[in-house]
Amino acid sequence: MKIARSKTELRTALEAARRDGKTIGLVPTMGYLHDGHLSLLHAARARCDLVVMSLFVNPAQFAPSEDLASYPRDEVRDLELAERAGVDVVFAPPVDTVYPEGFATAVEVGGGLTDVLDGASGQRGAAHFRGVTTVVAKLFNSVGPDVAYFGQKDAQQAIVIRRMVRDLDFPVEIEVLPTVREPDGLAISSRNAYLDPGDRQRAAGLSRALRAAEAVAASGEDRIEPALEAARAELERAGIEAEYLEARDPESLAEVETLNGRPVLIAVAARVGAARLIDNTLIGDSA
C-alpha cells in the first residue's frame, strides 16, 4: 500500500493504473475508521482494479463552534485497517496541500439541497455542505475515480454530491451503500466515541425511532405525520430531544406529507451527551 502526502505523489501512484485503463475506486474518509468505512472499502475492492482512500479531516466543513480540534484521529490504526482492507493508495495530505495560501474557490450546491436538515440555519448550516462539496470536488479532480463510495448514514451529503456530479459533469459514478449498525441498531459513526456508557445506551433510541416510523408506514398508513409521531414518542422514551425529525423527498429534499407509493427519507439529528448524531431511513414503495 502506498501513502501519498502530496498531489505529485498521488499522481505518480495512479499513473500506471490510469495509463492501463484500470478502474479506480475512491473512498473519501476523515479517518478514525470503523465498520461503516470498511464496508465501503470492501465494496470498492470487490469492484475496482485500484482502490484509493483519502484520509483528511476537512476543516472547511466544521463551523467555529464544532469539534474540529477534538475530532477523533488515529492515523496509524487507520493505515493498518486500510491495508488489511486491500487499499492500494492512501491519500493523506496536510491541510496546506488541500487549501494552500490564498485558496479562494468554493463549490456550492443550491436547489434547496443545502439549506434544510443539517444545512438549515441553526443546524450545521449551508457552509458545512460548501466545505464538503469543495473538498470532494478537489478529490475527484486529483484522483479521477471511476466510482466513488459513500454511506447512506450521511444521506443528505450523498444527495448533495450526486447533484454536484450531475450538474458539473464529473465523470464518476456515485455508489451509496447501506448504513452499518451496531447490534442494537445504533448507526456506526466516528462520533460515537464521544458517548459515555449511559449516553451510548440512550443513543440507540434514534434507530428505534426510525423503526417505529417504518412500522407505521408498513401498516398501510399513507400520511407521514403518524409515522413522525411514532418516532417522536420513541425519542421521548429514550430521553432524546431531536434537533430535527423530518420527512423529505430523497432527491429534491422537499418536504412531503404523504407516501403515495413513493420513497420518503425520514431524517433525524440529536445531541446525545457530548455527541451530535444523525440517522435516517428510506420508507415507502420505491417500485
**Domain termination residue (choose one: 143, 177, 211):** 177
Question: Which pLDDT score is estimated for 126?
Answer: 96
Give the whole-angstrom CA distance, residue 44 versus residue 25: 6
Single out the catalytic residue among 34, 37, 42, 128: 37
| Phi, psi dihedral angles at 255 (to 5 degrees) | -65, 145
Q: pLDDT for 251-281, tens place per residue? A: 999 999 998 888 999 999 999 999 999 999 9
Q: pLDDT for 54-77, tens place per residue? A: 999 999 999 998 999 999 999 999
Question: Which pLDDT score is estimated for 259?
Answer: 87
Residue 178 grid coordinates: 447501506
CA distances from 3 to 10, 14, 22, 206, 212 (A): 8, 11, 19, 37, 44
Structural domain contains residue 196: yes
Question: Which pLDDT score is estimated for 254?
Answer: 97
Structural domain contains residue 185: no
**Over 80: is that where the pLDDT of 287 sits?**
no
Question: Which pLDDT score is estimated for 246?
Answer: 98
Mean pLDDT of 185-211: 97
Burial of 7 (0-12, 13-18, 19+ CB in 10 A): middle
Structural domain contains residue 287: no
Q: pLDDT for 132-167, tens place per residue? A: 999 999 999 999 999 999 999 999 999 999 999 999
Q: pLDDT for 107-125, tens place per residue? A: 999 999 999 999 999 999 9
Q: 173 lies in which domain range?
A: 2-177
**Could you give the percent of the chain with pLDDT greater than 70?**
99
User: Residue 150's Cα: distance from chain center in Å?
Assistant: 6
Give the whole-angstrom CA distance, residue 265 versus residue 17: 38
**Over 60: is that where the pLDDT of 189 sits?**
yes
Structural domain contains residue 183: no
Q: Does residue 168 sit in the same domain as residue 200? A: no
Question: Which pLDDT score is estimated for 285?
Answer: 56
Give the whole-angstrom CA distance, residue 68 versus residue 34: 19
Q: At 201, is the pLDDT very low, low, confident or very high (cuts 50, 70, 90)?
A: very high
194 - beta bridge partners? Answer: none
Long-range contacts of 281-284 (CB under 8 A, 24+ apart): 281/210, 281/211, 281/213, 281/214, 282/152, 282/155, 282/250, 283/213, 283/214, 283/217, 283/218, 283/227, 283/259, 284/217, 284/259
**Domain termination residue (choose one: 177, 205, 235):** 177
CA distances from 173 to 54, 145, 162, 170, 187 (A): 17, 8, 9, 9, 25
**Domain termination residue (choose one: 109, 143, 177):** 177
Residue carrying the nine cell digits 500500500: 1
- pLDDT, mean over the chain: 96
Q: What is the C-alpha radius of gyration for the chain, rounded to an integer number of angstroms?
A: 19
Question: Which pLDDT score is estimated for 60?
Answer: 96
Which is it for the CA torsion 214, 217, 218, 219, positive or negative? positive
Q: Does residue 246 sit in the same domain as residue 127? A: no
Q: Does residue 47 sit in the same domain as residue 114? A: yes
Closest CA to 264 of 242, 285, 233: 285
42 a catalytic residue:
no
Q: Does residue 122 sit in the same domain as residue 209? A: no
In this structure, what DSSP letter does residue 99 have? S
- CATH number of 42's domain: 3.40.50.620
- CATH number of 201's domain: 3.30.1300.10
Residue 153 grid coordinates: 448514514
The DSSP H or E segment spanning 98 is helix 95-98
Closest CA to 225 of 255, 263, 193: 255
